[in-house]
Amino acid sequence: MIGVSIMSASALNAKKLFADLDKVADGVEFARDLVTEPGNVIYPESYAEKIKELSSLGVDVEILDEDDMEELGMGALLGVGQGSACESHLVIMRWDGSENLTEPPVAFVGKGVTFDTGGISLKPGSGMEDMKFDMGGSAAVVGAMKALAGRNAKVNVVGVVGLVENMPSSTAQRPGDVVTSMSGQTIEIINTDAEGRLVLADALWYTQDRFKPKVMLDLATLTGAIMVALGQEYAGIFSNNDELSEKLTEAGRQVDEPVWRMPMSKAYDKQINSKIADMKNMGGKYAGSIAAAQFLQRYVNDVPWVHIDIAGTAWKTETSDIADRGATGYGVRLLDQLVRNNYED
């Protein structure tokens, strides 16, 4: 054990700064622990129970079960989990830290697929044990909420995570099925392993419809294609708003959680157009990450929005300067810094 003493002429200010950073570190640690747990420990119900721990920090935690979501018409999210014995959940976390309680919140939305077999479109067996980290986007949202509440951030924030397990069984969703999302838009299922965007579709629509946020960001370990493009160094971001993208990029630079903006265009929409539904859940073999973002954009309306694909950054195979091998907690510091720079009172 090596001890380090830091001398400062402004000790009180240093303590205050480090106190805030300690709370952010708590959020990162919480996110890493969630991602590291195996699928028989963290599954939708147990995950929702873990999130309840944030109540002790003043976060209001609300949990929707399958009956609640069916009543809301969340056919996209429920379709993903219908092959699992574990019931799906949507968890809503609210932190009202602004002096103006009527101020529209900043919204974070996370993909929480606690284990992803691929469903009927089964993944190869080799490496499937790592699919416990397919809830990394949701863990970043939960960790960020813990960090913001822990340091008493002067901002209104809502975090929404869709928690499901994607399993193959006699009740599982099939390729060729058509589901109706909460928005009323229909989706033709081409591949049941393109499931994260289905979870996010209903979670995004619910969030923008209920909370009317000033900005909305989603995080997801969504596509292998983003790893082909950017490796494990940058997360890919996709957005309908230049200003928000620039703010997020700057926050990433400050905390060494870098992002790289990828293109979006109506030209890519034809990849997900369906002949029997409003859209398909995946396109062809090209521009897979962009096609996924084009899909998600159909569920955000005009809210300034960024989609952050963290498939390459949520889990590392090599040790880095800030994380051991495995779960990185990527996204917690990024979201905290974005709020710190732009949205606090």
Amino acid at 276: I
Q: Of the candidates 236, 225, 223, 207, which has an alpha carbon nearest to the alpha carbon of residue 77? A: 207
Given the residues 50, 123, 154, 261, the one annotated as active site: 123
Distance CA 235, CA 331 (A): 9
Distance CA 46, CA 43 (A): 6
**Backbone phi, then psi, for 265, in 5-degree steps?**
-165, 150
Residues 92/72, Cβ–Cβ less than 8 Å: no
How far are the Cα atoms of 22, 140, 199, 286, 310 from residue 64, in angstroms, in the given order?
Answer: 31, 20, 14, 36, 26
Q: What is the pTM of this model?
A: 0.96
DSSP letters spanning 177-199 = -EEE-TTS-EEE-S-TT--HHHH
Amino acid at 108: F
Distance CA 274, CA 257 (A): 36
Residues 148/93, Cβ–Cβ less than 8 Å: no
Token digits of residue 188: 């033709």
CATH-assigned architecture of domain 13-342: 3-Layer(aba) Sandwich (3.40)
Distance CA 27, CA 45 (A): 21
Each residue's pLDDT, cut to its tens digit, for the chain (345 residues) gives 456 777 888 888 888 778 889 999 999 999 999 999 999 999 999 999 999 999 999 999 999 999 999 999 999 999 999 999 999 999 999 999 999 999 999 999 999 999 999 999 999 999 999 999 999 999 999 999 999 999 999 999 999 999 999 999 999 999 999 999 999 999 999 999 999 999 999 999 999 999 999 999 999 999 999 999 999 999 999 999 999 999 999 999 999 999 999 999 999 999 999 999 999 999 989 999 999 999 999 999 999 999 999 999 999 877 777 777 899 999 999 999 999 999 999
Rg of the chain, C-alpha, whole Å: 19
CA 328 to chain CA centroid, Å, is 14
pLDDT value of residue 1: 44
Bridge partners of 159, per DSSP, are 93, 108
Distance CA 220, CA 197 (A): 9
Distance CA 343, CA 345 (A): 7
Token digits of residue 160: 């929404």
Active-site residue 197, yes or no? yes
CA 132 to chain CA centroid, Å, is 14
Token digits of residue 16: 């205050």
Distance CA 301, CA 143 (A): 27
Active-site residue 151, yes or no? no
C-beta atoms surrounding 184 within 10 Å: 10
pLDDT value of residue 223: 98
Q: Which residue has the tokens 């029997």?
A: 276
Given the residues 23, 146, 151, 197, the one annotated as active site: 197
pLDDT value of residue 2: 57
Token digits of residue 156: 């209104």
Residues 84/165, Cβ–Cβ less than 8 Å: yes
Residues 116/214, Cβ–Cβ less than 8 Å: no
Distance CA 29, CA 111 (A): 19
Domain residue spans of the chain: 13-342
